[in-house]
Amino acid sequence: MSTSKSDALVVFGVTGDLAHKMIFPALYAMAKRGTLTVPVIGVAFPKWSMARLHRRVKDSIKRSGRVDNQRALRHLLNNLTYVSGDYNSADTFASIKVALKNAKRPAFYLAIPPALFETVIKGLGAADLAKDARVIVEKPFGRDLPTARQLNRAARSVFPEDSIFRIDHFLGKEAIMNILYFRFANSFLEPIWNRNYIASIQITMSEDFGVGDRGAFYETAGCLRDVIENHLFQVIALLAMEPPGGRDFGAVQIEKAKVFKAMRPLAPDDVVRGQYAGYRSEPDVAKRSDVETFCALRLFIDSWRWEGVPFYVRSGKYLPETATEVLVELKAPPQRLFADSSPKNGRTNYIRFRLSPNSAVALAARVKHPGKDFVGDQRELYLLEQQPGEEAPYERLLTDAMMGDGALFTREDAVEAAWAVVEPVLKRHHRVRPYKRGTWGPRDADKLIAKDGSWHNP
C-alpha cells in the first residue's frame, strides 16, 4: 500500500449538487489550512466555461458560510481545471489524462449517481489511469448484497482494495471519531464494556423534517437503506469492536468487519417500519407507497463480549428533534440497598454520546441528597463539548483519502457483511405503520423495546 500523498484530485460530477453543497466548501477549507497543494480537475457532461464553473464555486462557498479568505479562494480557483465529456466515451478519459499532465498518483472522486460508478471505474482502467491512483466512492455502495458484491468486483478489477475509499461523511464527524478515542483511551471503561454490565445499547438518529424534494430517491431507498445500514451500523461497529492491534487503519477496519460478521441477520419481527402522515402526497412518491420514513430495529451481536445484549436502533423523519444520540445503559446493582435506586424509579446508570447537532459525552450516576435519609437522584457528569475550528467531515475525509489514510472509510468485507445483516428484511417485512408528524414514530416501536425499558429521546 502506498502512503504517498495524491498529487492531483479529479472530481467526477463537479457540476452536481454534492460538489456544490459539500466538496467545494471542503476544498476551500483545505485551501485556507494550506493542505490543498495539488491541482483539481473537475469532470462532468455539461459544456461549461471556466468562468461559469468559477461562479458555481463562489456561490457554493457563499452559501456554506462566507468568503473570509480571498487568497485561499484564488488559490482554489487557480488550481481548478475542467473536462467536459461523456463518461461512456474513451475520449473523455483521454482528455483527463492530458489534464493530469505529470501527475503520477491521482485521486479520483466519484461524486456521481451510483449507477455510473462501474462505468467510470472501468473507464479509468481502460485508459490506464488507475496505476498508483486512488478512487473515492460516495455512498450508497450498492442497494443490497448482490449489487454491493457486483460493485466491489468492478472496483477490485481495476484498483487494489487499499486504494478504494468508500466515503461515508458520517464517519468524518468529530463526535463519531470521539467514540473510538473515548473507548480505547480510557482504562476505566474496558472492564464494564461487555454483557456482564451493559443491559442494552440504543442509537437514535432523528430529523424534524420530511423528504422534501428527495421523494424519488426515497422511493428507491427508504430509511433502512438510507441511514441505518450504513451510518448507524458504523456507529455500532465503533461501540462494539474489540481493541485494534494498532492505530493504523487496517487494524481498525479488521475489528469493525468482525462486528458486522457477528451480527445476527434481521428477521421481520425485529423491524418496525413507519411512514409519516402525508408522505404519499410528497412529490415523486407513489400513491400507495410502502416505503418507510421511520425504521426501528432490534439486533444482536453473537460474540463473547456482546452475547444477549440487545442493540436498539431507530431513525426517522418528521420526529420532534433533529439529533443523534447513543445511550449505553448499564445493569442495575445486584443488590437493592436503597429503595430509590430501583430501575422502576428511572434509568439505571448510563453513558450517553451526543453525536449531533453538537458533540458531548455524559456519564450518569446516582448522587445522595444531603441529610440522614439514603435518597438521591441521578445526575449527569458532562465530559466533552464541541470545539470551535474543527475540520468539517468532507474536509477531513478528502484530506485522509488523498493521504492514503483509510481509518474513516469502509472496507469491502465490511460493506458486504453489513448488507448481509439487512438482506433478509429488504423485501420480506411487515407493512409500514402510519405515524403523526412531530411524534417519535409508530407505537409498535415502543413495543419492540418494551422488554428492555423505553426509548431514550434526545
- Catalytically active residues are 231
Q: Are strands 164-167 and 198-206 parallel, antiparallel or unpaired?
A: unpaired
Which ranges of 288-376 does DSSP label H, i.e. alpha helix? none
Angle between helices 50-64 and 24-33 (to 10 degrees): 80
Asked if 16 and 56 count as a contact pair (C-beta separation under 8 A), the reply is no
For the chain, the first-to-last Cα distance in angstroms comes to 42
C-beta neighbour count of 385 within 10 angstroms: 10
Q: Which three cell numbers stand for residue 179?
A: 467514540
User: Which residues pair with residue 12 across a beta bridge?
Assistant: 43, 110
Q: Are strands 40-44 and 360-368 parallel, antiparallel or unpaired?
A: unpaired
Q: Which three cell numbers stand for residue 398?
A: 478528502
Asked if 9 and 106 count as a contact pair (C-beta separation under 8 A), the reply is yes
Give how far Cα 304 sits from Cα of 189, 195, 259, 299, 300, Å. 17, 8, 11, 15, 12
Report the alpha-carbon distance of residue 134 to residue 159 in Å, rounded: 7
Whether the ω angle into residue 334 lies within 30 degrees of 0, i.e. cis, is no
User: What is the identity of the amino acid at 172?
Assistant: G
